[in-house]
Chain A
């Protein structure tokens, strides 16, 4: 006999509600489920909206449950429909379109709305909140049309919105009532460091300003503050806070305070009606962050499925700012008072800050800025109210030895409760990960990601997932930990290079065959790597494999997302001539180049060349390839130097051009950038280059391992030399040593850290014979290279296969 299934209605199609439903489905709850959502979208990851605005993700990327998911789970979904009342007598919910659905249980998860300041002008056109996809779309549209924006509110959301708008090219000022940004999560020190960093990234600030009025006619054109001062703005984002969306509950006669009041099992004052997420008030607190939502959802799901559960007793909140390149974290208490014991470390040079607060020796809070590698760990320690010990101290303050630290980490994962959420973005518990590993025999984080979704969104939980994997696998983790260069082989880079040399292997096919690759022809990670290693080992005889190159290197041009290409000619040392500029202009006009962009490396990008036009553009430019597409020497940035500059002590332009001509075209493990400066004022920014050279009155100083990219690193002082000849020899030796020992795709910034500066110095500086041999080897390799554009223009077959489109 078929058991009558109960009717469960979820009001609110967001992360909190749908997360609860997912848990109920996992627990096998016998419900027929109906979901109402007032937005026209399926459930998406609201906390990732900042990435959409920033441009690193699309709306599709952040959809958590597509419509197929609802269909697969027999869930009736009504999007674009708002529920207006829960009728307790008739036991049904009523929507704004008149639809009435009977229920046995109801979950309210209506979330929250942007709090719009009740000041005159707040309803003008051009004023939005930052809460949903519609707001995000409004901001993207505004950036195309308007130039100046004001973001009211210097909290998490406001700063993310501001950075997003700056990335979209707007002139953005953050208006904040107080003197400290994110004052609800950060202390004064971290807050000032954050403001300094964001200022560097182009965000402006008006601190200690209270907005009194939004000015303008139909559309907003500025802000007037309580002190009488004004700020011009064509677009205003209100990010002063959120307001639990409680209208429905109020209208239905449910007890509402700031949020919908619930007990420890998320039950509201109305029988059979529950509430989770931002609309909920539990023990006097409304949460606006994601982790508590999942914790509430978990308790509620179990309760509704009749499974045993601990009551919900509130959450310890932690925060991470989602702005690329600005790492901020806070958990628990963050402002020190006399009753706290404070551990803090501030490094103004590396721009990092770490503070841990203890109360009676128990860890009650932490703030991190700049380096957040310990965030997952600290979050756990705060949450569990762990007592500080010598071991934990050395682990989190980075003073202990690695062995002890690791053992300790394994222990803390073991102590973690099964229900604890590991991945806050996707609501994945420790148990879900452990089950995935044991049931499927997984050995990598990638496999766990594909199955459970953990680490898939922001990736912040990856260290914990790794620890859980290590904990579950125990000793067998060791084997898988000795991971190969990709999933195709268990061999490391060094083992592969050694085998190639020992066995005299000559092609990627041979390497993969002899070394028993799991996927016989490799993948997009190992094929280009092996092709590089072969070229490095056999510079004169290795026949470069076009089919093993990434698209950009194969085409000798940079592919853009629409399939057009960017062409970048050489401009040695960043110096050009009127004749060359004229030719670039003529060709750009003739081939309808979309944008001519001056690059950071002092040359010109011709962006948006149609694929079939690329070879013609090369031919008519008649200039050497700039290798902007390659893992090779990109540019040698120079300052004006002693040819013209009154401070110049060395000929930076001349030496820069000479070095660029000497080292161009050769393959490196990763892209390679240089700079030459005529004096210590360092106008060409040597500190962020793979090799940075700074002239002085008596010679040159060489810096290595700098990087200005994803993980900025200031270059290390390597040595000082007197003559240009010595300079060339040192550069040659460093480059060749990097070519011979670097992992494919490893920049020198990582390479220097891995090898150790002293080790590189001792190989190159303390051993003249070795240095000269390295230099001779790079000279031999350099003698084999030629311009790829000229070569491709001569090779009719390859050119037509790569660039032409035949129409049939």
Chain B
């Protein structure tokens, strides 16, 4: 198993609408990418941490929190942690903005799985 990081360019800053999630496929992983109202961009796996699953990209964004679209769980986009009283975690991926282009880094191990 190769343990290198893969960097994907997923579009420009303009490409992402404020507080409206966008689905982006990066290799084997489907991401939900959000631009918060302060202009920061967050990427999480587009997989609802609720046991019944489903997507995340369609949720309501408030500050750096996301309210999931199916079960209304509150999720911190920075850490992926589900907020009390619910419990769980969604995978997060580091995002860098290079000029206008938005890049996401996936770890090699994750690509294998």
Contacts and interface: CB of A to CB of B under 8 A. Distances in A.
B111 interface: no
Contacts of B42: none
A772 interface: no
B60 interface: yes
Given A559-B70, A805-B24, A519 B63 contact: yes
B17 A801 contact: yes
A808 B67 CA distance: 26
Nearest to A522: B62
A562 B53 CA distance: 7
Contact of A551 (B26, B58, B65, B85): B58
Nearest to B87: A66
A524 B17 contact: no
Nearest to A545: B19
Nearest to A488: B62
A450 B74 CA distance: 13
Interface string A500-539: 0000000001000000000111111001100000000000
Interface string B55-77: 10011111101010110101000
A456 B84 CA distance: 13
A675 to B, nearest CB: 31
Nearest to B16: A801
A5 interface: no
B51 interface: yes
Interface in A46-64: 58, 60-61
Nearest to A450: B85
Given A559-B58, A805-B24, A521 B63 contact: yes
Contacts of A801: 15-17, 20, 22
Contacts of B69: 550-551, 559
A266 B32 CA distance: 55
A3 interface: no
Given A520-B63, A554-B58, A61 B37 contact: no
Contacts of A807: 25
B54 A562 contact: yes
Contacts of B53: 561-562
Contacts of A808: 8-10, 24-27
A550 B20 CA distance: 11
A548 interface: yes
Contacts of B62: 519, 521-524, 527
A60 B37 contact: no
A449 interface: yes
B54 A563 contact: yes
A547 B19 contact: yes
A137 to B, nearest CB: 16
Contacts of A554: 20, 58
B23 interface: yes
B46 to A, nearest CB: 8
Nearest to B74: A523
Given A449-B85, A450-B85, A563 B55 contact: yes
B72 A61 contact: no
Interface residues of A, number: 37
Contacts of B20: 546-547, 554, 801-802
Contact of B72 (A456, A524, A547): A524
A798 interface: yes
Contacts of B52: 58, 561
B31 to A, nearest CB: 9
Contact of A806 (B10, B19, B72): B10
Interface string A776-808: 000000000000000000000110011011111
A555 interface: yes
A60 B86 CA distance: 12
B10 A450 contact: no
Contacts of A524: 59-60, 62, 67, 72
Most buried by A among B25, B59, B62: B62
A518 to B, nearest CB: 11
B81 interface: no
B25 A806 contact: yes
B64 to A, nearest CB: 10
Interface in B1-39: 8-11, 15-20, 22-27, 30, 37
B11 A523 contact: no
A802 B57 CA distance: 9
Interface in B70-101: 70, 72, 74, 84-85
A665 B53 CA distance: 31
A797 B84 CA distance: 35
Contacts of B84: 450
Contacts of B9: 808
B17 to A, nearest CB: 5
Contacts of A555: 58
Contacts of A806: 10-11, 23-25
Interface in A458-492: none
B59 A551 contact: yes
A162 B24 CA distance: 44
Interface in A589-616: 611
Given A801-B20, A805-B25, A547 B60 contact: yes
B70 A561 contact: yes
Interface in A537-586: 546-548, 550-551, 554-555, 559, 561-563
Nearest to B36: A521
20 contacts: A521-B37, A522-B62, A523-B62, A524-B62, A524-B67, A547-B17, A547-B18, A547-B19, A547-B60, A550-B69, A554-B20, A559-B69, A559-B70, A561-B70, A562-B53, A798-B17, A801-B16, A808-B10, A808-B24, A808-B27
Given A520-B63, A547-B19, 14 more contacts: A449-B85, A519-B65, A524-B62, A524-B67, A547-B20, A547-B60, A559-B69, A561-B53, A562-B54, A563-B54, A801-B16, A805-B25, A808-B9, A808-B10
4 closest residue pairs by CB, A with B: A450-B85, A60-B51, A524-B67, A547-B19
